[in-house]
Every structure is written in structure tokens, then in C-alpha cells.
Chain A
Amino acid sequence: MNALRNLLDKIKPTFSEGGKLSMFRSVFDGFETFLFVPNSTSKSGAHIHDAVDSKRIMIMVVIALMPALLFGMYNVGYQHYLSIGQHEVTSFFEIFFYGLLAVLPKIIVTYLVGLGIEFTVAQFKGEEIHEGFLVTGIILPMIVPVDCPLWILALATAFAVIFAKEIFGGTGMNIFNVALIARAFLFFAYPSKMSGDSVWIRTDSTFGIGEGAVVDGFTGATPLGQVAVSTGSEAQITDALGNASSIWDAVIGLVPGSIGETSVIAIALGAILLLVTRIASWKVMLSIFASGALTAFLFNIAGLDNPVANLPWYYHLSLGGFAFGAVFMATDPVTSARTETGKWIYGILIGFMAIVIRVLNPGYPEGMMLAILLMNGLAPAIDYFVVQRNVSMRAKRAKIQK
């Protein structure tokens, strides 16, 4: 630790104003504050500093995402070996290694593009580097299908960072969740690479690993995709080989889907860390799950002739991006409602909208992305009305005392 500190202190003058590499001073500053909590304090006015600064919060969120990411890598490999009929003869590490090779390029591409833009903007404006992309860059590869090409991922990252974040003023000023804007961009711009049956499971080899022919009877649709296209009132969910899947497959996460969203258990581990460290709001998470369950349950007993409406409510909560969105994306402190009452309203409406979109819109098997983006847009309005109501209540109280 001390050696690192000394090294930083030694090279600092080179990057300071007038030094040889002063054009990279924002980059240096970014890394220095990433490694060590800055010890500078405000010079004027009275300020309250939290002991945990935003870089430390971001790192904690990245740690919370790790179980879902690692499991996602394993699942990518598992689905691949399942599709070529070798999942029983392949070792655990080989399966994981395949997934690692498939997912790692996505993470590298998003970080290169996103941080490249952030560093350029920061240097250009002479500001500090914002830390927000740390989380966005790891979430984005987790919410796309494994066969989403790298170049459109790079394009979506650039679009989202510029149009959803930088033009609003950078980290902390964005109205919409940046990773979700990138996903929405991909979803509407390149629907053939973001939905359908052929992108969720990689059937080809990756860097020469995992050669094999796809088995007969292979289907690559996600559980929600299967439900959406099934006929009759009850849907049968199957895995890639056509065997029936149970709710446990969805809870453990061995189903096709976006890379990081499949495992409820891995997401729950992350959720516990976020709740214990009080980074995410338990009110938002709880209200999303509660209202999602209630809405799905009401559709269950409504007796509609629609397989998505008849999908049991616990399936709705564990399939698709519902859990991932509720834990990691809706709770984003920048884009969610800020007032405590507002958080309940915000969460309840997200859970409700997500299920309603799934059930009533046959075009979109998954509704979580659109529900969160919609409520991101409404969150400031919710806060406004909560604050106004408080103001009018207190004004009434003040009158009585007169």
C-alpha cells in the first residue's frame, strides 16, 4: 500500500499543471482517487462528507454484481454444451472457461468505448473523470444476449454515454439509466440481435473452444419467449433440448437469457450485499417484487385465455430480467425517486408496468426494461408531488396553530 502511495506521489508532478504529461492529468486524477480515497476537503462553506465516497459505492455495486456475472459466464458455457449435447461429459471448468471467453470481449469492449468517451470528455472540459461508467460498463454486458455482436454493443455504449449521460451533464445528472438506454437502443435498432430464438445460446465455438454440432430438436428461445408464442391457455417451458424445465431451473438460472439475468440466487446474493451496505433502497426492491407478484397473481385469477397471463406469479418473478432489473437497475440512486414515499410509488409502478407489458403486449415478451425506463422518466414528477403534498400538509398545520 505504502509503496503504491509513494509511487503515485512521485509521479504526480509529471501530471500536474505544467508537467510533461499534464494533458493526461484527468486520467491520473481518476486513477489516484480510484485507488485512494482523496484527503482533500472543501475550502469554503459548511459541508457534510460521507465517509464513503461515490467511487467506493460504485466498487461495492460491482462486487455485488460479481455472483450474477460469474454465474452468467457459467450458464453461457452450460447452454452451449447443452446445445451440442456434451453438457454431461464436459468438466465444470471447461464450461466456465467457454463462458468466460464468450463474455470477456463484451466487457472489454464496453469499458474501452465508455471509458474512452468519459476520459476524452473529462480531459476536454478540464474536469475530473466521473466514476459512473464503472457500474454501467459491467451491467451492460450482463443485460444483452451472448450472441449480440461486439460492434453494435460498442455503438450502443457510445450512443448511451453521449446521449443519455454526457449531454445531461455527466454522472449523477442523467434522467435515464445509461445501461438501459444502451439496451433499449440495441432492442429497437437491431431487434434481430436482441430478441428471437437464435441469439440467447451460442451454438458456435468461441476462439476454437467447444466445437460440436447442434443436436436435433434444439430450441434457443428464452422461457418468456416460449410462453409468449405458445398457443392454448397454459404454456410448457422447455430447455434447449426440449425437456421440460421446472421453476428450480429458473431460480438457479440454468435457462437461456441475457448473460447476467438468469440466476435468481446469484442476484439475491448481490441484493443482500447492496442491502447490508445500504447502497440500494429496500423500499424500491420490496415494492417492485410485491407489486409484480400481486399484478401477476391478479392476472392468474382473472381467467384470461392468454398463456402469459396464466403463467404463475412466482414464474413471472424468477424468469427474464425481473429480478435483475429490480435489484440492480431500478435501485440506481441517480434515476430512481429520491423521496422515501416516492420510492414506494416508483417501485410499485415498475412492478405493475413490467407485468402488464409482458401480459398485454404480445410484441414484447419482456417488460422490465421499458417499465424501468418509463418510471425513470416519471420519477422527478413523483418526487415533485410528494414534496408538494408535504408542503401543503405542513401549511395546513401552521394555520391551525394561529
Chain B
Amino acid sequence: MGLFSKENRATFLAPLGVNNPVTVQVLGICSALAVTAQSEPALVMGFSVTIIVALANVIISLLRNTIPNRIRIIVQLVVVATLVTIVSECLKAFAYDVSVQLSVYVGLIITNCILMGRLEAFAMANGPWESFLDGLGNGFGYAIILVVVAFFRELLSAGTLLGFTVIPESFYELGYLNNGLMLMPPMALIIVGGIIWAQRAKNPELQD
């Protein structure tokens, strides 16, 4: 089987669209609401989760035949916790401001349902390369939603993107106002809901 065979491409691409972990499987919602008030933390968060899912998938996939079934959750947690700690320390070393903004949510990646879901559902039953692609795909699928939500929230709540002012001053002089509700997590939930709505309207096979 080739490295980029049809199945492998589907493994990578499905989580970006019709099998998105956030909008279709509705996993990882908690952090999607918490870190999306601004684009920068959302980008970093999406990137961190992608790395951790991909690497954890590879490691568990390599170990999958040696892990006793009864303690597999503990083993998975140890692997994930190690990776999360490494990523967290890297963030503190190289991107301290963002790691302060993300605060506990980096540590809480351990409890992100996407991680355990992929390890249990995919890495325990597939080879390391397929698991790596699956982890990348799911990480990117999660990151895309985070970035889209953060785009709307930052643009409408502060008029900026990645910290740069986008909405010109003349708009404010005409009476335009920033939307304070966008700073609050409920609005992130409504935006995620809007994305789910649009996605299901486009893909009839997702409608139940």
C-alpha cells in the first residue's frame, strides 16, 4: 500500500470536512469556546493539539500490540500527558505571552476528547503512518474550526485580526461599535452552531 494511497488520503481529508471532530463528532467543544476570543491563541492551540494528536497517535500505534487491554487507557494517558507537558514547556519557553493567554487550556489538552477518541478509535487498530495521517487530519480539522470561530470573534469584538486593527477608525466615527457579546463564550457556541448548520445544509448525508 502506497504512502499516499486513496485510503490514506481519505484518512487525512475526512476530518477536515465530512468527519470533522468539532462540527460533526462534536468533540473538543470546551476548548473551542475558551480559547477563541482572539486569533493568536486559537492558532497556537490548534497547532499544539495537532502536534500532540499526531505524535500520540504514532506512539500508541507503535505500542498497540504490546499494551495489555486492561490498562490501555492509563498507557494512553501517560503518553498524552508527556506530550502535553513537552508542548506546554515549549510554549512557555518560546511564546510566553500566548502561553499566559492560554493559561490552563494547554494543560487541559490532556482531557480533550479528540485525543482519547482518536487513540481509542484509530491508533489502537492501525499502523503508525496511517495513525499519523489521522492525527494530523483531526488536528487540522479542529484547528480550522478554532481559527474560523476566532476570526469572527476577534473581528467583531475588537475590530482586529491577530492583533492588527482591521476595521478603520472612520467606521467608529460613523457610529460603529464593537460587539461585547462576542467576547463571551456563548457567542462562540452560536458561531460553532452556525458552522454546523451551514455544513449540514451543504452535505445532505450529514443530516439525520
Q: Which residues of A are interface residues toward B (Cβ below 8 A)?
A: 149, 151-152, 163, 167, 185, 188-193
Contact = CB atoms under 8 A, between A and B. Distances in A.
A185 B181 contact: yes
B179 A189 contact: yes
Interface of B: 175, 177, 179-182, 184, 190, 197
Q: Interface residues of B: mostly helix, strand, loop or mixed?
A: helix
Given A189-B180, A190-B179, 5 more contacts: A163-B190, A185-B181, A188-B180, A189-B181, A193-B177
B168 to A, nearest CB: 17
B107 to A, nearest CB: 29
Contacts of B177: 149, 152, 190, 192-193
A13 B77 CA distance: 69
Contact of B181 (A149, A167, A188, A193): A188
Contacts of A167: 197
A192 B176 CA distance: 12
- Among A185, A189, A190, A193, the most chain B Cβ lie within 10 Å of the Cβ of A189
B113 to A, nearest CB: 25
Contact of A151 (B175, B181, B182, B184): B175
Contacts of B181: 185, 188-189
Given A149-B175, A151-B175, A152-B177, A189 B182 contact: yes
B157 to A, nearest CB: 9
A191 B180 contact: yes
Nearest to A192: B177
A149 B174 CA distance: 11
A167 B198 CA distance: 13
A151 B190 CA distance: 21
B194 to A, nearest CB: 9
Contacts of A185: 181
Contact of B184 (A152, A188, A192): A188
Nearest to A150: B175
Contacts of B175: 149, 151
15 contacts: A149-B175, A149-B177, A151-B175, A163-B190, A167-B197, A188-B181, A188-B184, A189-B179, A189-B180, A189-B181, A189-B182, A190-B179, A191-B180, A192-B177, A193-B177
A185 B184 CA distance: 12
A163 to B, nearest CB: 6
Contacts of B197: 167
A190 B180 contact: yes
- Among B181, B184, B190, the most chain A Cβ lie within 10 Å of the Cβ of B181
Contacts of B180: 188-191
A317 B175 CA distance: 35
A175 to B, nearest CB: 15
- Among B177, B190, B197, the most chain A Cβ lie within 10 Å of the Cβ of B177
B37 to A, nearest CB: 14
A165 to B, nearest CB: 14
